[in-house]
Amino acid sequence: MAEIVLKQVEKTYGNVTAVHPLDLHIRDGELTVFVGPSGCGKSTTLRMVAGLEDTSAGQILIGGKDVTRLEPKDRNIAMVFQNYALYPHKTVYENLAFALRMRGQERAQIEQRVQWAAQMLGMESLLQRKPRQLSGGQMQRVALGRALVREPDVFLLDEPLSNLDAKLRLRMRDEIARLHRALKTNMIYVTHDQVEAMTLGDRIVVMKDGRIQQVGAPLEVYDRPANRFVAGFIGAPEMNLLDGALAREGGVLQVRCGPLLLPLPAHLQPASPDARRVVLGVRPEHVLPVAAGTPGALAARAVQVEQMGAYTLATFEAEGLRLRAMLSRDEAVAWGDTRTLGLDAQRLHLFDSETGASMGRALSNHAGG
């Protein structure tokens, strides 16, 4: 077992707090993705788990063992970096074997581990090449293989795909997911790319300004964001976030966002609604063309149309209010066209305008949510 527990872990540099006290329990065998914008503290947290950064406070346990003050070499972790960090004068075989030799392992055991890793990563034919003879994807495979041969309790991956082009990133993402399924070893993966987070993680840890904003399964975070930041950060294309206010009209609690007036569904009814400034959230796939005269509908003009192949992404505007809609590719819409749009009432989100906190959670898109 190699579960990871962070207890009130904190990192400060003088008067600057890079990571505020955080608690996190990563279950054994999970692939956990830390995601957030640059400077949010995700890599610093990873480096504290690795032992490359000292903790200013708190405790780190791996497999029930307190490793807070242990050197990196004593934590039985393996780390994969963004820049590969290969020895340029050594062959692929020698790069893979180096750490095992430093541990004093026998030649036969080294040979067995290197061949196993090469087979797992499909690079048997590359073992006698040097890094300068490899492509970016092949070098990243070697970096993964070097971690693999050590049989660590935990794999730590710090933005390992950032230097690759989009197509190669997709292929390597699949490779990492396959490795995790095969090895069932704890992995912590750091990225600023929310698509990587959604597609790779068993759970996502969303961070901002050194604080954890939300922890959950990818679809849970997508469907039920804890606050406005998570709602806007997770999802591509991003959620529509509309400034508005709550008001009672005809005894019905409604939200008004410029020309848009909607009755609030039961799951979004806040405890203290009177004269409250709010932010209404709706994802582009939940903005739908509807018939004219539909209650809560809005007539808006298309000001941008992007053909994405599988769907059309269109931005509509009405009296200064802008809405992005993900439409069927068969929906014929061109710049300047007017459409009547409705919002799926069961997929709306409501956030406090001041704190950003969710005032109610939209219903899940998936079974069991």
Question: If you count them, how many residues does the chain have?
Answer: 369
pLDDT for 175 equals 86
- Give the model's pLDDT for residue 367: 34
CB 158 within 8 A of CB 80: yes
pLDDT of residue 216: 96
**At the top level of CATH, which class does the domain 238-360 belong to?**
mainly beta
End-to-end CA distance of the chain: 29
On whether the CB atoms of residues 16 and 71 are closer than 8 A, the answer is no
- Residue 207 pLDDT: 97
Is the domain spanning 4-232 CATH 1.10.3720.10? The answer is no
All CATH 2.40.50.140 domain ranges in the chain, comma separated: 238-360
- List, in sequence order, the alpha helices (H) in the chain: 42-50, 92-102, 107-120, 136-148, 166-183, 194-200, 218-223, 228-233
pTM of the model: 0.88
Q: Which residue has the tokens 């749009």?
A: 341
- Number of H helices and E strands in the chain, helices first, is 8, 21
pLDDT value for 274: 55
Q: What's the average pLDDT block by block, 10 residues per block, for the chain (369 residues)?
A: 91 96 95 95 96 96 95 91 85 91 89 89 90 88 87 90 82 87 91 92 96 96 95 93 87 88 82 73 95 89 93 94 93 91 92 88 41
325 exposure class (CB count in 10 Å sphere: 0-12, 13-18, 19+): buried
Q: In the chain, where does the domain assigned CATH 3.40.50.300 lie?
A: 4-232
Rounded Cα–Cα distance for residues 283 and 344 (Å): 9
Work out whether strand 154-158 and strand 77-80 pair parallel, antiparallel, or are unpaired.
parallel
Q: At what angle do helices 136-148 and 107-120 cross, to 10 degrees?
A: 130
Q: How far apart are alpha carbons 283 and 27 in whole angstroms? A: 31
- Give the Cα separation of 93 and 332 in Å (integer): 56
Residues 217/260, Cβ–Cβ less than 8 Å: no
pLDDT at res. 61: 96
Question: Residue 254 in contact with residue 247, Cβ under 8 Å?
Answer: yes
